[in-house]
Structure formats: structure tokens, C-alpha cells
Structure 1
Amino acid sequence: MLSGLEAALAEASSPSWTRRVRAGRDLAAFADLPEAAGALVGLLLDAEDTAVTRKTAEALARIGTVAAVRLIALAVVEADDNQADWLQTGVQDALVGPDGVPDVAAACRNLAQDQEEAIRRGAAKISAWTGETRC
């Protein structure tokens, strides 16, 4: 029987967009693991369906850890304009409502000190999406 991580990794490459959405949601809890990180960035930059991009970004933003937001930041700098729009929508979906996720802004502030310039750039964009004036 496959573990939750193994099952989600298998679904991340499914031809079914609904399975890829589920994989993004399930893998978000494992954002700090290298084996999940690559699959998550792939889902954030899904070329087949914008729902996968949006829902994976939302799931990672809801987790709100530095590791999770770092993956979104990495995807932001690699994304085309359309993907970036859906990444932003996913992050904003996580932030709306009474149980919004304020940790995203804190993670962006932390990532502003990252050694990788691309991560700093991506974090600055995400910070702007959260309404933060500084990162």
C-alpha cells in the first residue's frame, strides 16, 4: 500500500487534471521535503490546466510555511503571464475570508533574505499580492 506522500507523487503526473489538483493539495503538507518540492513546482507550473496551478498555489499558501511559500516564489519567477495570474489567484483565494492565512506575508519577509535572487524576486511579488508594502 502506498503512503500518502507516494500516492500524491504518483497522482502529480496523472493525465487527469482532477487527480493533479488532489496531488497538489495532498503534497502541500510535504512542501519541506525535496521529493515533494519538485512535483509541487511542476504542479504550480502545470501547462495543461490552470485549475491545477490555482489550487496548488492555494494549498501551499494555506500551509503558509517558509518552505511552502518558497515553492510559490520559485514558480512565480518561472511562470508565464497566464500562470502568474493563476498563481496570484490561488494565493489570494487562501487569504480571503475569516480564516485567511497571515503567515504568507511573514514567510515572504523571511524569504526576502534568501540567498537566491530569484526567490527574493518571487517573494516580493507574492508580498505585493498579500497587500504588504514591504517584503
Structure 2
Amino acid sequence: MPEEMSGLEAALAEASSPAWTQRARAGRDLASFADVPEAAEVLVGLLLDVEDTAVTRQTAEALARVGTVAAVRLIALAVAAADANQADWLQTGVHDALVGPNGVPDVAVACGTLARDQEEPVRRGAAKISAWANGTRC
């Protein structure tokens, strides 16, 4: 466990780097910690990164690959708060995960669970992600 926490702390520190490559790496590294409150807050910030869309895309892809309700919930929150450009890159990141070699069917299941979330923005974001996921499986 101590090694895992040092990985978490290192990724949290990287998330505020001025270098987009380090922020993108932090997003990928933090995705598995989506259920940890400190990581969740930072991940939403990375999903809505105002300086580089690669950070948005790679963080969304990493969270979609994790595919847990906690991970997809963070994408849903970001989708609800995103401007049109950010939403496009969030969608691209989710799409990248869904069409990858190990597609992620859990995203649709997580969206089904999030459709009943207490927070309206989460329900709204999950509905959009669900539509994206369904659009990929033509």
C-alpha cells in the first residue's frame, strides 16, 4: 500500500505541472484512483484542462478504460461542465477507449448506474457518454 500511495502522491504533484505531457501522464496514472476523493477532484480538473486538449483526451481515455462507476462519473461531471471544444475531446477520449483493442463494455453499464445518480449534472453527462458509447457500436 505505501508504494501505491507514493504513486498517487507523485501523480497528484504532476497534475499541476506546466508541461502538458506531465499533466497527461498524471491523468493516466490517476485514473485507477478515481474513487479517491483527492484524485477525483484533480482528475475532473485534468478532464477540463484549459491549456491542452491532449490532457483532456488522454485523461478521458484512461478513465473510460478503467470503466468503473467512479471513473465514468468523473467523465460525466466533466461533460456536464465542458464547453463544446472540451466536450469534443472528452468524446474522442471515450471513443479511443471503446474502439481500442480491449474495448470497454463497462462504460455502458456504468452509465446505466449513473442515470440514477442524485446529481443532475452527472445524469446529464452520463446520458451523453451513453449516446457516444452506443454510437461506437454500429
Number of aligned residue pairs: 132
Give the alignment's Cα RMSD to 1 decimal.
Answer: 1.3
Partner of 2:61: 58
| Distance (whole Å) between structure 2 residues aligned to residue 67 and residue 126 of structure 1 | 14
Q: TM-score, normalised by structure 1?
A: 0.95
| Distance (whole Å) between structure 2 residues aligned to residue 42 and residue 98 of structure 1 | 28
Partner of 1:3: 6
| Distance (whole Å) between structure 2 residues aligned to residue 40 and residue 53 of structure 1 | 9
Partner of 1:125: 128
2:80 aligned with 1:83: no
Give the residue type in structure 2 aligned to 1:121.
R
Question: Unaligned stretches of 5+ in structure 2?
Answer: none
Question: Unaligned stretches of 5+ in structure 1?
Answer: none
Sequence identity, in percent?
80
Partner of 1:108: 111
| Distance (whole Å) between structure 2 residues aligned to residue 47 and residue 117 of structure 1 | 24
Give the residue type in structure 2 aligned to 1:125.
K
- Report runs of 4+ in structure 1 exceeding 6 Å deviation: none
Give the residue type in structure 2 aligned to 1:43.
L
Partner of 1:17: 20
If each structure's helix is expressed as a fraction of its own residues, which one has the higher value? Answer: 2
| Distance (whole Å) between structure 2 residues aligned to residue 56 and residue 42 of structure 1 | 10
Give the residue type in structure 1 aligned to 2:79.
V
Deviation of 1:130 after TM superposition, in Å, equals 0.2
